[in-house]
């Protein structure tokens, strides 16, 4: 087995076809990733060109939403998973194409596009749906954790956990993504033993993964850290580093990732 770390990356591409026109293929070739989770793909696999639908040296799994041009997740992996789950088994969530899970030996990787709570009218009407999705994912991965597996949950969580995780916390206390009940849900995960991998290595401010496309927010680094990798305690023992790639363009989000000792698979 290679001594190189196992690289697991996640990126909300905000439309894979659009991201591909802005350099996604070059990024993927340079990423040296063993597993890549994508969120907000917003395309059916048959609508994608071959290099995106089945990238060279990767096995691709697609979970599109029933609604065209909306949501959708995907998982690329260099090795064949032992098992794949393309949903949570709950139609109210699965119709939106928000969850895919893969098992590689003793490692389980869950890739999720957690809902926004704002609703179409920005009235926070989808917060109950969002929190129910969090609870459904928690229930699923806790079962795997209790079964002795090492679990990573990664993706666009659509929640900034602490004030340090967004540039303007005071102005956003009533905005979905930073509501007390949303932050409390992440508190529950951490109390249960899950670890925010990035914060385990980087306690400092100014690290964001999403920026509004208005008013030059990205250039001024006025952003939110809403994308993350959460590790179960058993998986965290193998995590050697966690990172963001804010210089990678192509989406209003940037890629994030972790590196693990390959012994996590055994």
Catalytic residue numbers, as ranges: 156
- Pseudo-torsion of CA 166, 171, 174, 176, nearest 10°? -30
Instruction: Record the tokens describing residue 126, joined without a space.
Output: 């989808």
Residues 6+ apart with CB under 8 A from 216: none
Residues 6+ apart with CB under 8 A from 236: 195, 197, 200
Alpha-carbon span 230 to 90, nearest angstrom: 22
Residue 20's SS3 state is: helix
Cα 155–Cα 157–Cα 160 angle in degrees, nearest 5: 130
Q: What share of the chain is helix, strand, coil (3-state, %, to 5)?
A: 30, 25, 45
- Pseudo-torsion of CA 192, 197, 202, 203, nearest 10°? -10
Alpha-carbon span 251 to 248, nearest angstrom: 8
Question: Residue 31: enclosing H or E segment and its boundaries?
Answer: helix 24-31
């Amino acid at each position: 087995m290679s001594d190189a770390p196992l690289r697991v990356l996640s990126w909300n591409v905000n439309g894979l076809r659009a991201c591909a026109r802005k350099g996604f293929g070059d990024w993927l070739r340079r990423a040296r990733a063993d597993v890549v989770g994508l969120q907000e793909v917003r395309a059916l696999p048959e609508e994608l060109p071959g290099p995106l639908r089945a990238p060279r040296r990767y096995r691709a799994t697609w979970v599109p939403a029933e609604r065209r041009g909306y949501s959708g997740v995907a998982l690329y992996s260099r090795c064949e998973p032992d098992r794949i789950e393309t949903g949570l088994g709950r139609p109210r969530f699965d119709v939106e194409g928000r969850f895919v899970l893969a098992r590689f030996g003793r490692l389980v990787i869950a890739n999720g596009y957690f809902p926004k709570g704002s609703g179409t009218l920005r009235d926070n009407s989808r917060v109950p749906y969002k929190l129910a999705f969090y609870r459904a994912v928690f229930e699923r991965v806790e079962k795997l954790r209790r079964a002795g597996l090492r679990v990573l949950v990664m993706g666009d969580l659509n929640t900034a956990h602490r004030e340090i995780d967004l540039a303007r916390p005071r102005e956003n206390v009533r905005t979905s993504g930073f509501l007390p009940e949303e932050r409390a849900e992440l508190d529950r995960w951490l109390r249960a033993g899950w670890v925010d991998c990035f914060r385990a290595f980087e306690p400092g401010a100014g690290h964001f993964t999403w920026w509004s496309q208005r008013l030059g927010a990205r250039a001024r680094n006025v952003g939110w850290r809403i994308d993350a990798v959460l590790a179960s305690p058993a998986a965290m023992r193998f995590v050697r580093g966690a990172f963001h790639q804010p210089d990678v363009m192509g989406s209003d989000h940037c890629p994030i990732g972790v590196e693990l000792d390959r012994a996590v698979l055994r």
